[in-house]
Amino acid sequence: MKKNTQKVSQSFLDDQLISVTILNRMNITSQLKSTPHTGASDTGKLELPCSKVMFFLERLIQKPWIEHLIFSALISAPLRSPTSQMQVIKSMHEFFEQVWILHKGEDIYDSEFYIREDVVNNTFTRILSDKYKASVDKKSRLVINYGSVVKMIASWMKLHKPYLGLDRHYYEQFTLGHANRAISHIATQMCKRLQAKYQLNRKRKTDEVMPDFQKIFRESKTRLSRFENFYKAVTKALEIATKEKLLTLSFAFNDEDTTIHCELQHTSHILDVLLSANFELPRDIIKDLSKSKLDDTVYSEGYYFVKILNADELSLSKFWFVELCNAGMLYRESSHNREQRNQCYNKYKYSEYYFYNSTLATRLLDEVAPRLADVASQCLKTPFIDPHSYRLIFHFAALAIDLLSTTGMRVNELMQIAASEDCLTVLEIQSSDAASSYKHVAMLIPKGTDQPEPFFFAKSTFDLLVDTMEVMASINKLVSGNPIIDTLPPHKDNKKVFLMHPAPYIFQLNGKHMVASELMNAVKLLLHGIELTNCSENNGPTYLTLYAHIFRHCFATFAVQVENIPIDVVAKLLKHKDIKTTSYYSAPTTSMIAETQSAFVAAISKPFNLDKAFAKKSKKDQKLYAEIKKKSGSLSKIVGGTCISHGFCHKTESCIGCPSKIPDSSHKDIVTRQLERAKIDYENFERDGYLAEALRLENFIKSCERELEQMEFQERDREYRAIPLSIQISNDGGTSPGGVHVDL
């Protein structure tokens, strides 16, 4: 796939230059270095593996199979992202390592310089057996990656074989074969089980989030608004402190029925308190900060932090950011915040890697170390908040949640959004009534293509995006005095880095384009401690780990299952090429299936009361219903219940046992009297020899008994439904299986 090198980002070109340098210094054949369609070829394109892969290959240069790895890396580089390249090369390295363990010292090639079929079979037999100590996931990935490399090599040979000339035999040695049918079947089944496992796990996570999908969306807006109100109060205090050149300034912020007592503190004052208390401070906190500089330039907004005086009295559901500040979650883990972070992890049962170990604080001024607020919070046991950093991070998070929830875009597409005319635009849409409407659009490059496609979003989303840009501009003005969003190169870990170019990306921090993991960290900070529907009252709340792709699954499921949007339209919104993928994404969750089944059972088992139904109708319908009830036929009150027959009566007015009747237990006494009379008449007819009449009454008696059984069942069902269900679980010391006794 040909790419326009003029649009390639500078960071990608720099990375490719490193890869060229590494390749040239490797002690390998010139033929391998000049493999067609790589940067090492005079006629090829500059598409070598990323420098990370090349450094990995250089460390393996002494391995006997290094040339196989290099060849696989060179031909797969144009088709794979840097992360995918590394995964493939590691899998191939493990495969050849097993080959050499089994066939060390042997000639593994056949007469045509292909790796022998028995070598491949023996190797995969070992990999799939218990002798190869690896998880099923790892084995499956190895099989999948090996198969993809085999296909790539075969396609590459078919394309370039006519032009290789005398070098054809050299490149044929890198051709790999498939395992035999039996081993391939085992590997295929293993991969299918792995794929089913991943799909089931992802749908389980979707099922956990779906009940609160809308709540998460609304809560992100509410929390951003609450912090914005707090920030406005901080801004007013900052204006007074900078104007009057104050080191400290106390103020209060009222939020509904809660008052936050705060104090602005200058960095020089904080440092003086820390030093006077003889705390051991990191060097970066004190090396650039001089207390003697107290002129006008020092008294700017970036030199102040907010101290929360009554943190213990605040509701963590409303002021969640206070707890984040206490735990130092905006900064990398260090000796100063490790204990508080672990306490937070244990309290909310977060995994060790729930928050990525990255610093999201904005470096406002070079003279102020970004970790000063974190160190002060831990040493002085009082939260010190950097309001500017939290404001920017929460805006990033709210915007990300909005876009992921309302567009279903992937996180790598999200990272491409830039404040430029090439990216953000407005399209005029012609509707069926000939009236025009305008839609906000972001032109982004989705997965599987190199051309930008439109992603539509609402005006409210666009307004939030503009607000985020204004916050970024205000931060830049505070840092450099220039309220302009910086034009930056894309992050090297972005999967579309080779198609992206320097732009004023929305998600940037401290002069760098953010990586997706950092943005999801910001999302988790904004939603920290949120109470969700699936929380258990007995076992405590269950806190979910949110991933970017879960929003995409929830978007598809909500669109198809709740809003009934046609699945082909959802496929276009998600940029899916195959509608089968959309079907998997939008499949109903387990909770949805259970709720639907419960609703269905309730619908078919609910007794239907005709009198109540017609009580809601018009007077005309009620009058007609009253007249019908007096007649034989539809809706008539008859012996044993209500007749639902319309027209000709096939039982000739013999209503007991009629299938066109709804039995009613309130008529039980009438049917019982009919049964008693029928038994007396049956005995008389049988004694007097009227056998035909006796047979008719015998059938009538059976019909009465069946109807009475149905009525008794109705009564038992009503009684059962009226009994309140209570469950008591107690440990009875082993009298019941497992030592647990259940009383209903």
599-608, long-range: CB < 8 A, 24+ apart: 608/662
Q: With 0.85 as the threshold, say if the pTM is over it.
A: no
Residue 648 lies in a domain: yes
Percent of the chain with pLDDT over 70: 79
Task: Please report which confidence band the pLDDT of residue 450 belongs to, taking 50, 70 and 90 as the band edges.
Answer: confident
> What pLDDT is recorded for position 113?
59
306 in the same domain as 244: yes
Task: Please report which confidence band the pLDDT of residue 417 belongs to, taking 50, 70 and 90 as the band edges.
Answer: very high
Range of the domain at 479: 394-531+573-579
Indicate the helix (H) or strand (E) that contains 200: helix 181-209
Task: Answer whether residue 392 shows pLDDT above 90.
Answer: yes
377 in the same domain as 233: yes
CB-based burial of residue 519 (10 Å sphere; 0-12 exposed, 13-18 middle, 19+ buried)?
buried
Residue 488 lies in a domain: yes
Final residue belonging to a domain, choices 386, 413, 431: 386
Give all strands of the β-sheet with 436-444 in edge-to-edge order. 424-430, 436-444, 453-457
384: which residues sit within 8 A by CB, 6+ positions away? 265, 270, 305, 306, 307, 308, 325, 372, 373, 374, 376, 377
Q: How many CB atoms lie within 10 A of CB 270?
A: 26
Task: Please report which confidence band the pLDDT of residue 339 belongs to, taking 50, 70 and 90 as the band edges.
Answer: confident
Residue 613 lies in a domain: no
Q: How far apart are CA 735 and CA 744, in angstroms?
A: 17
Bridge partners of 440, per DSSP, are 426, 457
684 in the same domain as 653: yes
> Which two structure tokens, joined as six digits, stand for 254?
């009222």
Question: Inter-axis angle of helices 387-407 and 516-526, to 10 degrees?
Answer: 100
Bridge partners of 438, per DSSP, are 428
Q: How far apart are CA 385 and CA 324, in angstroms?
A: 10
Average the pLDDT over each of 137-151, 346-360, 690-704 and give the range with the smallest value. Answer: 346-360
Segment 678-694 shows an average pLDDT of 85
Task: Answer whether residue 263 shows pLDDT above 60.
Answer: yes
> Which two structure tokens, joined as six digits, stand for 271?
């440092």
338 in the same domain as 431: no
> What pLDDT is recorded for position 504?
92
* Mean pLDDT computed over every residue of the chain: 78
164 in the same domain as 42: yes
Task: Answer whether residue 217 shows pLDDT above 60.
Answer: yes
Instruction: Write out pLDDT tens, residues 281-317.
Output: 666 566 555 443 444 456 777 788 999 998 888 888 8
Segment 86-93 shows an average pLDDT of 86
Give the SS3 label for residue 508. strand
Task: Answer whether residue 97 shows pLDDT above 60.
Answer: yes
Task: Please report which confidence band the pLDDT of residue 701 belongs to, taking 50, 70 and 90 as the band edges.
Answer: confident
Instruction: Write out pLDDT tens, residues 187-208.
Output: 778 778 877 888 888 888 888 8
Task: Answer whether residue 21 shows pLDDT above 70.
Answer: yes
Residue 104 lies in a domain: yes
Residue 617 lies in a domain: no
508: which residues sit within 8 A by CB, 6+ positions away? 472, 485, 486, 488, 514
Task: Answer whether residue 426 shows pLDDT above 80.
Answer: yes
356 in the same domain as 439: no
Q: How far apart are CA 672 and CA 668, in angstroms?
A: 6
409 in the same domain as 263: no
Task: Please report which confidence band the pLDDT of residue 743 belongs to, taking 50, 70 and 90 as the band edges.
Answer: very low
End-to-end CA distance of the chain: 68
Instruction: Write out pLDDT tens, residues 530-560.
Output: 776 655 444 555 666 677 888 999 999 999 9
108 in the same domain as 149: yes
Using an 8 Å Cβ cutoff, are 417 and 442 in contact? yes
Q: How many CB atoms lie within 10 A of CB 619?
A: 7
Instruction: Write out pLDDT tens, residues 711-731.
Output: 887 777 777 666 654 444 444
Task: Answer whether residue 491 shows pLDDT above 60.
Answer: yes
Q: Which amino acid belongs to residue 10? A: Q
380 in the same domain as 446: no
Final residue belonging to a domain, choices 564, 579, 594: 579
Instruction: Write out pLDDT tens, residues 62-75.
Output: 888 888 888 888 88
600: which residues sit within 8 A by CB, 6+ positions away? none
> What pLDDT is recorded for position 44?
42
348 in the same domain as 316: yes
C-alpha angle 397/403/404, rounded to 5°? 85
Final residue belonging to a domain, choices 542, 558, 579: 579
507 in the same domain as 425: yes
Residue 196 lies in a domain: no
Closest CA to 531 of 260, 346, 318: 318
Residue 540 lies in a domain: no
When divided into structural domains, the chain yields a total of 4
Distance of CA 11 to the CA centre of its chain: 30
Q: How far apart are CA 685 and CA 269, in angstroms?
A: 113
Residue 428 lies in a domain: yes
402 in the same domain as 372: no
Helices (H), 575-646: 579-585, 590-605, 610-615, 619-629
